[in-house]
A and B are shown apart, each in its own frame.
Chain A
């Protein structure tokens, strides 16, 4: 299939699009019709006429400072700037008279007089708008020069000819690992400042000084880019028309000459990028303007942190070993695959068909995941397939399935632009889903209200120009009580949308529910002691949500990773139904998925009880579809989930595992139990980029490929199926789908896929919600949101528009049940976990990029009061102990966490936060209870014994024998 290659430079329309009533005008005699509010500049661009410009770009609002874009308008005096002048009916615009040409040349002359003329050696040569505009306006000479004897009147020469320093000159700021700021090339157009404000919402940049002294400045006096609030999203670099803000990779490798559109492989936002190439070298990743999830924005991970593909730790040859205490031996693919196949078949012969299983990856493509679960079902002959979504969003599947009839998130990301009140619960979008956070903040700055429900004061609670109306800092583990208390207020104060409930929901179930939730024991006053949330602010928040217009709920793992995770999801669905906030833009229930393809991994039948498309294996008709196609019999009983696999391994009935792209030893709770399970197996096959922690217990290592090296699709949190396109050839030799296929063949299967498009054909053929998906459609539309079928041939941006998938929405009684994990005298604090912007999940990729500059280690956040009680000072090593285990890390004292609560991230294997977490889990899905662990904290003087033993074992297990000659 042909790559989707587009020119590197896309058209810049000058100012953002508008939506309004049509207005018709003529530009240079050409009639054009555009929405009201559109600028004359954009209207001209629509008519195919480019007006010269410098300070305008279509990602930010016009500013009107450079005056290069002047035009003449019939009946108006002077020469208005076309970027700031809105169109009017019947307007007649001339963009090219002698008068405006002269003005433009004068403007350019002034700019160029204060700009170095080193174009040929400049990193932006050929990719510079100043250069383009000088050419476009026909600038031929520059008459300004510094007056004799006076100081240098420019910003670009460090010294004058006699060697005296130029006080106006500033050195380059190289502090950011990915881009540079070279003030000598700045034209002070403020595009960067506006991008940081409007697109990213961080407000890290300002223009300091006035007139000739104006400068772009990151942070306050004495700050550079690294020490400022800058989060390295790259929006300013993108907006800069010159080489002032420039990617270091472009400085090093040269400007790109072609680009391939693909999808970020980090988080569930699923941003579209142009991978820009110079020959066959990847020069930079630039967010794609037509990407429907990100609309041209990105975060530091997708934009810059792709260097792990070339990291020296990457394993490129298959390896095997008899026992895990031996060093690895590099072998050819054939040998590794036949070794693995023989072991798995041997285990099955000795211990039965169900003694082996697979773990699919939320990082791999849909096609790859589909093949891995097919391997279990069709080749192993069992349903032992699970995915790491088990440990994050399985309660979403269960909870929304029960209430609405499908686990799907209800909206697209564009929906946030029409929301009025947003609840963010158990999610930290500025760190976990940065591009969504930027879009949300934009809407909040435009007036929408925000309610944050989280034990920790996340950044969204208060950041520049954004302040939450309410922050409900609940005690970890009391989500159900808080959500129920909100529902209690809405029902008892009569704020529900009765018309919606009567027409759209099951009225009998609602009656039960209303009676249940009205009980005074659910009132905010009754639960205040338990949840720690002041009753008055909870009441106000509930009223605001019920009466404030379009209400949308966004939630994350702080909801699901609890023993009552599924119940909280149902509670959230209840809230949305109560207030009629389902089935139109601006509302809905929106799970924020963690990894890039969590949604896809679930859709593709990774779960042990479900075939692709969320159909239970007990259904004979569904099994028949696959039985006919694959020519095998499918087990009607559910298989083992990840925690069950490990339990069964310890019990001796589960002996072999093929684990693709997951590091369960680091990411799953209760590390010691995971290690014991892995150690009890006879064949662990790890298929990954690096020797991850799980690989310490593996017998076969199959080197994987990165998202840059293969074709396929990812499905993001809004159910959007995005193409992943091969940018460079796989360094390990094969795309991951090929490797799974080779393993299947080594075990006797007769698979013959030659391109992922054929796998998608099989998915479409067997899965009703994917019936209309094929690569040709994706090529044409860019992306589609499932369901895609005869009823919705172009996909489904909004779910449940005319009725719920299950028919009537179902209210479910949500009784709060305290988790067994309680603080007590031995473990008086509650630990909750999360992540930060620059790192991703277990960190295997981001730790192998320059992103470590922002997060070199995991730290423990602790409230000053709790710290003082324990004699802990900021930066001290502390011991963190739970009933599962202990670890050591450094303390960070902050009042972001409430007294009694401590918080850490889990990005680094040496910290092993999961040594601490327990094996408690969600009642319905076994999703582990990461978010609540009772712990004690005390001073320590370094790594714990476990950490040292672990490091020694890991070093031992990672030895590789030099290749035999």
Chain B
């Protein structure tokens, strides 16, 4: 998928969880990405972040870190 499309989709998710009460938005975004994004898509996200993460909402980057940590554990 094109990087712009991926960035837009990830940011859309971040925008929703940002508006929810509580301070665990990054956790919820991570959860959503793990539940609905196929591993290939998450890999593309990791790669994009490794390459600087242009255009991504900081919460997506925070969420991505959690996904990686969880994968490393599991």
Using a CB–CB cutoff of 8 Å, the interface residues on chain A facing chain B are 354, 383-384, 512, 516, 563, 567, 608-609, 616, 618, 637-641, 644, 647-648, 650-651, 653, 812-813, 815, 817, 820, 919-921, 923-926
Whole-angstrom distance between the alpha carbons of A140 and B40 in the complex?
A: 83
The answer to whether B36 and A638 touch across the interface, beta carbons within 8 angstroms, is: yes
The answer to whether A925 and B40 touch across the interface, beta carbons within 8 angstroms, is: no
Residues of B within 8 A of A925 (CB): 36
Whole-angstrom distance between the alpha carbons of A960 and B15 in the complex?
A: 51
Whole-angstrom distance between the alpha carbons of A384 and B39 in the complex?
A: 12
The answer to whether A648 and B40 touch across the interface, beta carbons within 8 angstroms, is: yes
The answer to whether A924 and B8 touch across the interface, beta carbons within 8 angstroms, is: no
The answer to whether A618 and B35 touch across the interface, beta carbons within 8 angstroms, is: yes
Residues of B within 8 A of A919 (CB): 5
| B26 CB to nearest A CB, Å | 16
Whole-angstrom distance between the alpha carbons of A919 and B2 in the complex?
A: 11
Supply 6 A–B pairs (Cβ within 8 Å), ascending by A: A563-B12, A640-B40, A648-B40, A815-B16, A815-B19, A921-B9
| A687 CB to nearest B CB, Å | 24
The answer to whether A923 and B13 touch across the interface, beta carbons within 8 angstroms, is: yes
Residues of B within 8 A of A383 (CB): 38
- Enumerate B1-17 residues with CB–CB distance to A below 8 Å: 1-2, 5, 8-9, 12-13, 15-16
Interface string of B31-57 (1 = CB under 8 A from A): 010111111110000000000000000
Q: A644-B1, A647-B1, A921-B9 are in contact. Are A638 and B37 (CB under 8 A)?
A: yes
| A484 CB to nearest B CB, Å | 11
Residue from A638, A640, A921 with most neighbouring chain B CB atoms (10 Å): A638
4 additional A-B residue pairs with CB within 8 Å, beyond A647-B5, A926-B9: A354-B40, A383-B38, A638-B35, A813-B20
The answer to whether B8 and A637 touch across the interface, beta carbons within 8 angstroms, is: no
| A616 CB to nearest B CB, Å | 6
Residues of B within 8 A of A616 (CB): 35
Residue from B2, B5, B38 with most neighbouring chain A CB atoms (10 Å): B38
| B45 CB to nearest A CB, Å | 13
Whole-angstrom distance between the alpha carbons of A812 and B32 in the complex?
A: 16
Whole-angstrom distance between the alpha carbons of A648 and B42 in the complex?
A: 12
The answer to whether A924 and B9 touch across the interface, beta carbons within 8 angstroms, is: no
Cβ contact of A638, chosen from B19, B21, B38, cutoff 8 A: B38
Using a CB–CB cutoff of 8 Å, the interface residues on chain B facing chain A are 1-2, 5, 8-9, 12-13, 15-16, 19-21, 32, 34-41
Residues of B within 8 A of A812 (CB): 20
| B71 CB to nearest A CB, Å | 10
Q: A563-B12, A923-B13, A924-B16 are in contact. Are A813 and B21 (CB under 8 A)?
A: yes
Whole-angstrom distance between the alpha carbons of A639 and B39 in the complex?
A: 8
The answer to whether B5 and A640 touch across the interface, beta carbons within 8 angstroms, is: no
Whole-angstrom distance between the alpha carbons of A924 and B13 in the complex?
A: 6
Residues of A within 8 A of B37 (CB): 638
| B60 CB to nearest A CB, Å | 12
Whole-angstrom distance between the alpha carbons of A644 and B1 in the complex?
A: 8
Cβ contact of B38, chosen from A608, A815, A920, A923, cutoff 8 A: A608
Whole-angstrom distance between the alpha carbons of A813 and B41 in the complex?
A: 28
| A517 CB to nearest B CB, Å | 12
Closest to B20 in A: A813
Whole-angstrom distance between the alpha carbons of A812 and B21 in the complex?
A: 9
| A654 CB to nearest B CB, Å | 9
Closest to B19 in A: A815
Residues of A within 8 A of B40 (CB): 354, 640, 644, 648, 653
| A924 CB to nearest B CB, Å | 7
The answer to whether A637 and B15 touch across the interface, beta carbons within 8 angstroms, is: no
Whole-angstrom distance between the alpha carbons of A245 and B35 in the complex?
A: 56
The answer to whether A637 and B12 touch across the interface, beta carbons within 8 angstroms, is: no
Whole-angstrom distance between the alpha carbons of A926 and B1 in the complex?
A: 13
| A507 CB to nearest B CB, Å | 14
Closest to A812 in B: B20
Whole-angstrom distance between the alpha carbons of A41 and B12 in the complex?
A: 63
| B23 CB to nearest A CB, Å | 13
Whole-angstrom distance between the alpha carbons of A924 and B29 in the complex?
A: 10
The answer to whether A637 and B38 touch across the interface, beta carbons within 8 angstroms, is: yes
| A439 CB to nearest B CB, Å | 36
Whole-angstrom distance between the alpha carbons of A84 and B26 in the complex?
A: 69
| B18 CB to nearest A CB, Å | 8
| B30 CB to nearest A CB, Å | 13
The answer to whether B36 and A637 touch across the interface, beta carbons within 8 angstroms, is: no
Cβ contact of A567, chosen from B9, B16, B38, B41, cutoff 8 A: B16
Q: A640-B40, A653-B40, A813-B21 are in contact. Are A923 and B16 (CB under 8 A)?
A: yes
Cβ contact of A924, chosen from B20, B32, B41, cutoff 8 A: B32
Q: A923-B15, A924-B16 are in contact. Are A512 and B21 (CB under 8 A)?
A: yes
Residues of B within 8 A of A618 (CB): 34-35
| A390 CB to nearest B CB, Å | 11
The answer to whether B5 and A639 touch across the interface, beta carbons within 8 angstroms, is: no
The answer to whether A923 and B12 touch across the interface, beta carbons within 8 angstroms, is: yes
Residues of B within 8 A of A637 (CB): 38-39
Residues of B within 8 A of A920 (CB): 8
Residues of A within 8 A of B15 (CB): 815, 817, 923
Residues of A within 8 A of B1 (CB): 644, 647-648, 650-651
Whole-angstrom distance between the alpha carbons of A324 and B14 in the complex?
A: 41
| A688 CB to nearest B CB, Å | 26
Residue from B16, B34, B41 with most neighbouring chain A CB atoms (10 Å): B16
Whole-angstrom distance between the alpha carbons of A383 and B36 in the complex?
A: 11
| B38 CB to nearest A CB, Å | 5
The answer to whether B38 and A640 touch across the interface, beta carbons within 8 angstroms, is: yes
| A926 CB to nearest B CB, Å | 7
Closest to B38 in A: A640
Residues of A within 8 A of B20 (CB): 812-813
Whole-angstrom distance between the alpha carbons of A923 and B21 in the complex?
A: 18
Q: A820-B8, A921-B9 are in contact. Are A644 and B41 (CB under 8 A)?
A: yes
| B36 CB to nearest A CB, Å | 6
Cβ contact of B19, chosen from A384, A644, A813, cutoff 8 A: A813
Residue from A637, A651, A923, A924 with most neighbouring chain B CB atoms (10 Å): A923
The answer to whether B36 and A639 touch across the interface, beta carbons within 8 angstroms, is: no
Whole-angstrom distance between the alpha carbons of A574 and B8 in the complex?
A: 27
Whole-angstrom distance between the alpha carbons of A640 and B36 in the complex?
A: 9
Closest to B18 in A: A815
Cβ contact of B36, chosen from A650, A653, A813, A924, cutoff 8 A: A924
| A615 CB to nearest B CB, Å | 12
| B9 CB to nearest A CB, Å | 7
Residues of A within 8 A of B36 (CB): 609, 638, 641, 924-925
Whole-angstrom distance between the alpha carbons of A651 and B37 in the complex?
A: 16
Whole-angstrom distance between the alpha carbons of A919 and B5 in the complex?
A: 8
Residues of B within 8 A of A644 (CB): 1, 38, 40-41
Residues of B within 8 A of A567 (CB): 16
Closest to B1 in A: A647
Residues of B within 8 A of A354 (CB): 38, 40
Residues of B within 8 A of A921 (CB): 9
The answer to whether B41 and A609 touch across the interface, beta carbons within 8 angstroms, is: no
Whole-angstrom distance between the alpha carbons of A653 and B1 in the complex?
A: 11
Whole-angstrom distance between the alpha carbons of A689 and B41 in the complex?
A: 34
